[in-house]
Amino acid sequence: MFNRRKFLASAAALAASQIPAISRAQSDPLRIGMLSCKSGALASGGKQMEDGFALFLKERGNILAGRQVELIVADTGGQPALAKTRAQELIQRSHVDLIVGPVAAFEALAINDYLAEAKVPFLCSSAAAEDLTQRKLNPWFVRTSSTSAQPCHPLGDYAAKELGYKSVITIADDFAFGQEQTAGFQRVFEANGGKIQTKLWAPLTTADYGTYISQMSGVDAIFAAFAGANGLRFLKQYSDYGMKDQIPVISAMTTVDEGVLKSMGDEAVGIVSAGWYSAALPTKENIAFVDQLRKVTGVDPGFYSVGAYSAGLALEAALKATNGNTGDKEAFIAALKKVEISNDPRGPWKLDNFGNPVQNIYIRKVERKDGRLVNSVIKTYDQVSQFWNYNPEQFLASPVYSRNDPAKI
C-alpha cells in the first residue's frame, strides 16, 4: 500500500544524502588557526599580528562570505619546534580550515613541509623567508607580507643613487630574516657601485651592542636590520655612544617599524628605511585603518598588524570567489592565489606566480609630527617584485640569500 508520508520522508532523505558535503560545510564555522608569539624577543610582533587580524574580523562582524569565523590562536614562543607542535595541534585537534601567521621566518620554515603534506592552506602574514616563495614552493602557501629582501633591494638602489653612499657597514640579527635582508641590500647596493666594508651579526637575544658599535667607522652609513625590540635597543645604544651625528643609519623595514617606533626618541629621527607600508600613507583606506587600530591599541599599525590585516583581505576575496566554500581545498587555494587587492591600507598588490605580493615599496624617513614619530614617505618604487629587476629564472638559479651569499666584495 502506498504511504505518501513515508515516500516523502524517504525522498527527502535521499535528496539530503546527495547534497555535496562541501555545500553543508559552508554553513559550518570557518575555523582559522593563528600561530602567534606571546613571549621572547618577537612577542611584540605576535601581539600586533593578532591586533591586525582581530580588527579585520571585528569590522566584518566576525563573518566572512556568510560564514561565522572561529579564530584559534596558538603560542609558538618564537621556537621552531614548538611552532610545528602548535601547527599539528591546530590541524589534528582543532581541525582548522587554514593557518595564518607565524611571526618569524624560522618558524615558517619549520612548519612549511608539514603543512604541505597535510594539504592545509598556509596564509603567511609576516614570516618573510625567501625560499618559501622561491626554491622550496609549497603549493598550499600564500604570503601577504614580502620576502625578507624585497624592500631592501630598492633601499640598496636608493642608498647608492640618491643618497650617494659609497661604503656601508651592515649589522643584523643573526637569523634568516636579518641575513636575507642584508643580502638583498648588499646585492643591489654593490651592483650600483657601493661597497660593503664589514658585515656584523648579532644574536637575536643580544642586549648590549657595544662591541659591535665599536667596530663602526670609516664608512658613509650603517645598514641595520633588526626585528622586534632589537632595533629599539641598538638605536638607543648607537646614540648613547655618540654615533648618531657621526655616521647615519639606514635600515630595513622592521628596525623602525611603527610597533617599536612608538618607544623610540630622538635616536630614530632622520633614519631612512624601506618597507611596503607606512602608517603615514595618506590614502583613505590607510587613514581609516590607522584611526580604527589606534582606538583599539593606542598606537600606529606597522609590519605585523598590516600583514595580518592583508591576510584577512586576501582570505575574504578568496572566500567570495568560492562562495564561502573551503571544503574543496584545491579550488580554495587556487582562488587565494589569484587575489588582487585594491583596498589595502598599504596600497594595491597582487600575487606573482610564486604566491608572493608584487607591491609598492616606500622609502621612508623618520620624522616627528604631532608629537609622535612617523615614517614619512619620501619616494615610492611602484609594484616591486620579489626578484627586483632580475630575471626570475636567473635569480632562482643562484643560492638563496644567506650570511655569505652574496659574498662581500
d(CA 192, CA 158): 10
- Is residue 222 within 8 A of residue 200, CB to CB? The reply is no
Q: Find residue 105's DSSP bridge partners.
A: none
> Is residue 246 located within the same domain as residue 209?
yes
**Which one, of 112, 105, 231, 107, lies nearest residue 180 by Cα?**
105
Give residue 26's pLDDT.
57
Give residue 169's pLDDT.
98
> Is residue 250 located within the same domain as residue 120?
no
Give residue 210's pLDDT.
98
d(CA 237, CA 44): 20
> Is residue 261 located within the same domain as residue 380?
yes
Give residue 369's pLDDT.
94
- How many structural domains is the chain composed of? 2
**Which one, of 342, 377, 345, 337, lies nearest residue 361 by Cα?**
377
Q: Is residue 265 part of a domain?
A: yes
Q: Is residue 17 part of a domain?
A: no
Q: Is residue 189 part of a domain?
A: yes
**Which one, of 226, 299, 169, 193, lies nearest residue 41 by Cα?**
226
> Is residue 245 located within the same domain as residue 381?
yes
Q: Is residue 336 part of a domain?
A: yes
Query: What beta strand segments (E) does 112-229 contain?
Result: 122-124, 141-143, 167-173, 195-202, 221-225
- Is residue 90 within 8 A of residue 72, CB to CB? The reply is yes
Query: What beta strand segments (E) does 192-279 contain?
Result: 195-202, 221-225, 249-251, 272-275
**Which one, of 214, 150, 202, lies nearest residue 174 by Cα?**
202
> Is residue 289 located within the same domain as residue 223?
no
Q: Is residue 379 part of a domain?
A: yes
What the block records as the C-alpha cell of 157 is: 638602489
Burial class (CB in 10 A: 0-12, 13-18, 19+), 348: middle
> Is residue 260 located within the same domain as residue 123?
no
What CATH number should be reported for the domain holding residue 320? 3.40.50.2300
> Is residue 269 located within the same domain as residue 373?
yes
Query: What string of pLDDT tens digits covers the 409 residues of the chain?
Result: 434 444 334 444 444 444 444 443 557 999 999 999 998 778 888 999 999 999 999 999 999 999 999 999 999 999 999 999 999 999 999 999 999 999 988 899 999 999 999 999 999 999 999 999 999 999 999 999 999 999 999 999 999 999 999 999 999 999 989 999 999 999 999 999 999 999 999 999 999 999 999 999 999 999 999 988 899 999 999 999 999 999 999 999 999 999 899 999 999 999 999 999 999 999 999 999 999 999 999 989 999 999 999 999 999 999 999 999 999 999 999 999 999 999 999 999 999 999 999 999 999 999 999 889 999 999 999 999 999 999 999 999 999 999 999 976 5
Q: Given phi > 0 = left and psi -120 to 50 = alpha, else beta, which region is 194?
A: beta
Give residue 3's pLDDT.
47
> Is residue 287 located within the same domain as residue 140?
yes
* Residues listed for the chain: 409
Q: Is residue 12 part of a domain?
A: no
Distance of alpha carbon 198 from the chain centroid: 28
> Is residue 69 located within the same domain as residue 132?
yes
> Is residue 197 located within the same domain as residue 263?
yes
Q: Is residue 168 part of a domain?
A: yes
Q: Is residue 407 part of a domain?
A: no
> Which domain, by its residues, includes 263?
152-281+360-397
pTM of the model: 0.91
> Is residue 125 located within the same domain as residue 177?
no
In this structure, what is the dihedral angle of CA atoms 69, 70, 73, 74, given to the nearest 10 degrees? -130
d(CA 125, CA 142): 9
Q: List, in order, residues 6 or more apart from 191 with CB less than 8 Å away.
A: 156
> Is residue 388 located within the same domain as residue 345?
no
